[in-house]
A and B are shown apart, each in its own frame.
Chain A
Amino acid sequence: DQQVKQNSPSLSVQEGRISILNCDYTNSMFDYFLWYKKYPAEGPTFLISISSIKDKNEDGRFTVFLNKSAKHLSLHIVPSQPGDSAVYFCAAGTASKLTFGTGTRLQVTL
């Protein structure tokens, strides 16, 4: 049972444009959500998080939006840069653990 889903395995965006990565979840008990970025042969790097009581959190070029009624969150990166090319994982948290999606590979082209 995949409780956190990232339905787009890959995304290609031009440098300077907006990247939008999407994530859906099924468990209403999740109380916070995070986005991680992962390069090959490295561990996931934390990017940004949002509490379930909020609908938006912004940090520099990164903004996370949460729609609880739709059980959907998204990560916006603007402007996208070539260094943003990586695999992005959405994760949902309860008190003790994170449940991850399967990831979306973002390619930012010149």
Chain B
Amino acid sequence: DTGVSQDPRHKITKRGQNVTFRCDPISEHNRLYWYRQTLGQGPEFLTYFQNEAQLEKSRLLSDRFSAERPKGSFSTLEIQRTEQGDSAMYLCASSPREQNQETQYFGPGTRLLVL
């Protein structure tokens, strides 16, 4: 098992364009999380999935953001009509649903720059 993977690792786009990121969790982890990290801050929770069900969304996740996990395996995060304020590192994490206190394992992140 190679851990959580994310693609692409870097994305540069122009304001107003749509972007989509992919996350492949550790196999057999049925929880998947998205976080965003900006310079000088810790990661901030965006949303999470239990299998294919999206169970919680942060108020940081505006209606321009949508996340899916259609088959309960990989997940995509789409940002429509990107703005310069969307520039950040987008992190994906996964955890097994063995108990309530779960360790989340993070991928390498996708760094987004909106020009």
Give the bracket for the number of chain B residues in contact with chain A. 20 to 34
Please give, as numbers and ranges, the residues of chain A lying within 8 Å of B107 by CB-CB distance: 43
- Residue A91 at the chain B interface, CB threshold 8 Å: yes
Q: Evaluate contact between A43 and B101: CB separation under 8 angstroms.
A: no
- Residue B28 at the chain A interface, CB threshold 8 Å: no
Assembly CA distance A93 to B48 (angstroms): 13
Q: Evaluate contact between B48 and A42: CB separation under 8 angstroms.
A: no
Known: A101-B42, A102-B41. A96 touches B55 (CB 8 A): yes
Known: A89-B43, A102-B41, A102-B42. A97 touches B101 (CB 8 A): no
Please give, as numbers and ranges, the residues of chain A lying within 8 Å of B91 by CB-CB distance: 43-44
Q: Evaluate contact between A100 and B44: CB separation under 8 angstroms.
A: yes
B89-106 toward A: CB 8 Å interface, digit per residue (1/0)? 001010000001111111
Give the bracket for the number of chain A residues in contact with chain B. 20 to 34
Please give, as numbers and ranges, the residues of chain B lying within 8 Å of A103 by CB-CB distance: 41-42
Shortest distance in angstroms between A59's beta carbon and chain B's nearest beta carbon?
A: 12
Known: A44-B106, A46-B104, A93-B101. A98 touches B40 (CB 8 A): no
- Residue B33 at the chain A interface, CB threshold 8 Å: yes
Assembly CA distance A102 to B104 (angstroms): 18
Can you identify 10 A-B contacts, CB atoms within 8 angstroms? A31-B100, A41-B109, A51-B101, A91-B42, A93-B101, A96-B55, A97-B45, A97-B48, A100-B42, A103-B42
Known: A43-B109, A91-B42, A102-B41. 20 other contacts (CB 8 A): A31-B100, A34-B103, A41-B109, A42-B109, A43-B4, A43-B91, A43-B108, A44-B43, A45-B106, A46-B103, A46-B105, A89-B43, A93-B101, A93-B102, A95-B100, A97-B33, A98-B43, A100-B43, A100-B44, A101-B42
